[in-house]
Structure 1
Amino acid sequence: MVILNAMVVLSPSEGDRPIVVLSGQRVLWAFSFRLLTLLMFALQSELRSRLGWAVIWAIYGGLPDFQVRRLEGMGFRPFLRLEELAPDVALIQALKERWDPECHAFLFPWGHMVSTLEDMVRITGLRVDGQAVTGTTYTSYQEPVERLLGLAVRGEGSSLVQQTVLQASLGVASVRRQTGEGQAEYMDRMTEDARAVMAEEEGDAADRDLRRFLTLVIGKLILGTKGDPVGFRCLPLLEDLSSVGNYAWGAALLAHLFDSLGTSSRETGVAGFFPLLQVWAYYHLPSLGLGVAR
C-alpha cells in the first residue's frame, strides 16, 4: 500500500480555493513519470533526426526525372516512397531487450521470432538477392571521396563525413524550420533548394549528384549510424552506377540492423533502420493492436 502524505494550503493568487500539495512517494512517482516522458520524447526526436527522413524526401523530390528513373532501375524507388513513421521508442527498446544474440532472434515467452528476408521485401521493397554488399576497408577514404563526391572526409583515416556537409552539397544547407512555416512549406522549400543545384542533364555532374544522394540514403537509412556523421564505406560500390542495382541492399539493411540489436541493452535505440522493426512487430504481434489485417 502506498502511503501518501498531503496537506491543504491556500494560494494567495487563487483566493480561498484549496490546493493539495502532495509529498512522499506520490511526488517521487510524479517526478519519475515526468522524467520518463521527457526521456521518451528526447529518444523519439533523436531517432527521427538520426534518420533524416524529411530531408531525404525533400532532396528526392528535387531530383530531375532522369535521376528518379535511374533510382527506379536500381530498385530504390519503393524504399524512397515509404511514408515517414513516428518512432515507437518503447516498442523498439522492448524488442532490443528481448534480442537473443546467440540465436539472432527475439526471445518471447512462446519461443523465438525474427524478421525474415521476406518481411524485408514486403516492408521496404529493397532487393535481398544479388551480390553481397561487401568490399575492402581502406586506411584513407580521402581520394575516393574527393574524386567521386567532391567532398572532404573528417580526418585522414576517417570513413565518415558530416551529414550537414553532404546535405549542403545537395542544396539543403539548412534544415531548420522557419518561424510560422508549416510542414508543407518546409518540405517545398527544401525541395526547391535541392532542385536549384541539381544537374539537369546527364553527365559527370549528374553522376556526382546521384552518388551524393545514394551515400546519404545508404549512410542514414540503410546502414545508418548513430549521430550526425554519414559513413561512406560503401562508396567504392557506387563508382560504377550501372551496377548499383545488382547488390542486395535489403539483405545488408537486415544484417546491419541485427548487428545493432546486439549492442548493450543499456544503449537506447538502434543504429539501423528502426521502422522495419516497428512494422514487423505491428504485423506479427497482433496483441499490440496496431497491425493491419492481411
Structure 2
Amino acid sequence: MHNMMRTDLNLFLALIKCYSIEEHCFIIGGRRIVPTLKDVVRIMGLQIDGEAITGKDFGREVTEQLCNELLGDSRYVSGRSGTEISLKGLRENLQNIPMNLEDIDIYVRAYVLHVIGCFICPSMNPSGVSSMFLSLLRNVDEIKNFAWGAAFLTQSMNHVRHLKMKIDSTTTTGACIPFFMVFLFEHVNGLTNASLRLNQIPFDLPMEFPLLVSWSSLLISKSKNNHGKLAADTFVNLLQMSEIIPRPYDRLNVEFLPQYLKSQLHVAYTHNVLICFEQLAHHMPHIFLEMMGLEESDIGIIRTLPKAKSKHRKSSEKPDWGSKFQKHVDF
C-alpha cells in the first residue's frame, strides 16, 4: 500500500509537530483532534472489536519452534535477538506456493503475518515482524476474531508519540503514513489542494470502501505529473490556520461499510484503553465531540481510565503481556 499511494513526508512531519504529548492529540486550527476507531474502520477497513491483540513474548528458541510448526520452516527467524520473522523471507515464500497443497494454512499465516508487518502493525525495524503475532495465527479460522483495527491505532499513536519525542530524526519507520494522510485529507478543509496541488483538477471525494484504497486510486490518477511539494514548516503554518471538518463521513452511503463492521461501530464511541502487546493507548473520541455529532450536554461524566503507559521490550525479559496488562484487557 505504501508503494501504491503517493505520500507526502513533509505533510506527515508537519502533523507530528502538531502533536501534543501532554494532551495525547493533535492541535490543528486551534482545536484538538485525534484519530479514533471511527476513522480506522472507514479508512483501513479493519475490524475494531474482538479479542485483544496480546499474549506472550518469546525468545529465539520458542520463535524457531513456532516458525517450524506454523510456517513449516525456521529459516524465517531474523533479528539479532532471533525474535523477529523476516518479511523478505515471507514474501519469497508466498511467490513460490506449490500446486496441490495439502496444508494451505502455512501460506495463509505467512500472508497474514506479512500484512501485519507491513501494513497493520509495522515495527521500527522495517525488515521484520515480531514473532508474538505468529502465536495468534495458530488457528486461521480465528484470525477474523481479533481487533486488528484497535491494535493498528495503538501502534500508530505510539509511533506518533515516539516521533514527536525524536522530531529531529529523519526516520519514520513504523508509521502508517498513508493512514494519517487520508485522515488529514478527510478532516482538514482544503488540505488536498495544498498538498497535491489538485486545485486546478476537478475530482470527487472517494466513496468506496475502504477509503485508503479509493484515496490511493485518486491520488495516482490525479497527481502523476505533480512534482511540487511544500516544506514541512509551510504545512505546519497551514495546519495551524486550517478549518476542521468534524463529520466528513456523512457523505458516505449507508451501505458503505460491510455489515460485519457496521455491527462494531458502537466501539468507536467508547472511551477506553487500546492494547497491542507491550503498547497501550487511550481511545478518546470525546476529544472532539462534533466528530460524533454530539455536544457537551449530550454526555455525562467521562470516566477516568487506568493509566495507559506502554512498556519497552527487553531481551532479558519475556513477559506475558496479557497478564501484565490484565486490568486493561478486562476494562
| Superposed counterparts of 1:40-189, under 5 Å | 84-140=4-60, 141-149=63-71, 150-152=73-75, 153-154=77-78, 157-171=81-95
SS at match of 1:262: helix
Counterparts of 1:121 and 1:155 in 2: how far apart (Å)? 32
Unaligned runs of 5+ in 1: 1-50, 55-83, 172-196
Write the deviation string for residues 235-260 of structure 1: whole angstroms up to 9, x where unpaired.
00001111110001011111100000
The match for 1:265 is 167
Kept in 1: contact 2:18–2:28 (CA 8 A)? yes
SS in 2 for 1:233: helix
Q: Aligned-pair distance for 1:165? A: 1.7
Greater fraction of residues in helix: 1
- State whether structure 2 residue 150 is matched by structure 1 residue 251: yes
* 1:165-244 alignment runs, 5 A limit: 165-171=89-95, 197-201=96-100, 203-204=102-103, 206-226=104-124, 227-244=126-143
Q: Which amino acid aligns with 1:127?
A: Q
Offset of 1:270 from its aligned partner?
A: 4.8
CA separation of 1:105/1:126 partners in 2, compared to 1, >3 Å: closer, same or farther? same
Instruction: Please give the per-residue CA displacement for 1:159-212, whole angstroms capped at 9, x wherever unaligned.
Output: 2233222211112xxxxxxxxxxxxxxxxxxxxxxxxx32455642x1111111
Q: TM-score, normalised by structure 1?
A: 0.59
CA gap of 1:145–1:102, structure 2 versus 1, over 3 A, is farther
Cα distance in 2 for residues equivalent to 1:219 and 1:232: 10
Report the equivalent of 2:178: 275
Q: Is the 8 A contact 1:98 1:106 kept in 2?
A: yes
- Contact kept? 1:131, 1:248, Cα under 8 Å: yes
Q: CA RMSD in A?
A: 2.2
- Alpha-carbon distance change, 201 to 127 in structure 1, aligned in 2, over 3 angstroms: farther
Indicate the percent of aligned positions where both proteins have the same amino acid: 27
Amino acid at match of 2:109: R
Q: Which deviations, in whole Å up to 9, do the C-alpha atoms of 1:99-129 show, x marking residues without a partner? A: 1223221122412111111111111111001
1:204-228, Cα deviation, whole Å (9 max, x unpaired):
2x11111111110001110112432
Q: How many Å separate the matches in 2 of 1:271 and 1:139? A: 22
One-letter amino acid matched to 1:100: S
Q: Which amino acid aligns with 1:148?
A: L
SS at match of 1:167: helix
In structure 2, how many angstroms separate the alpha carbons of the residues matched to 1:112 and 1:255?
A: 18
Q: Is the 8 A contact 1:261 1:270 kept in 2?
A: no
Structure 1 residues 244 and 138: alpha-carbon distance in aligned structure 2, compared to 1, 3 A threshold: same
Query: Structure 1 residues 276 and 139 mapped into 2: Cα distance closer, same or farther (>3 Å)?
Result: same
- Distance in 1 (CA, whole Å) between partners of 2:29 and 2:173 is 23
User: In the alignment, residue 277 of structure 1 is paired with which amino acid?
Assistant: F
Structure number, greater radius of gyration:
1
Q: Report the counterpart of residue 190 of structure 1 in structure 2.
A: none
In terms of mean alpha carbon deviation, does 93-102 or 209-218 score higher?
Answer: 93-102
**Cα pair 2:58 2:131 within 8 Å, conserved:** no
**Mapped contact 1:132–1:247 kept (Cα < 8 A):** yes
CA 1:143–1:278: 2 relative to 1, 3 Å = same
Match of 2:26, SS state, is: strand
Query: SS of 1:87's equivalent?
Result: coil
Letter in 1 for 2:136: L
Q: Counterparts of 1:156 and 1:143 in 2: how far apart (Å)? A: 17
Code of the residue aligned with 2:155 in structure 1: it is H
TM-score if structure 2 supplies the norm length?
Answer: 0.53
Q: What is the SS of the residue equivalent to 2:132?
A: coil
Partners of 1:217 and 1:86 in 2: how far apart? 19
Equivalent pairs counted in the alignment come to: 188
Give the unaligned 5+ runs of structure 2. 194-203, 206-247, 252-331
On the 8 A contact 1:159/1:232 being kept in 2, the answer is: yes
- The alignment partner of 2:190 has SS state of helix
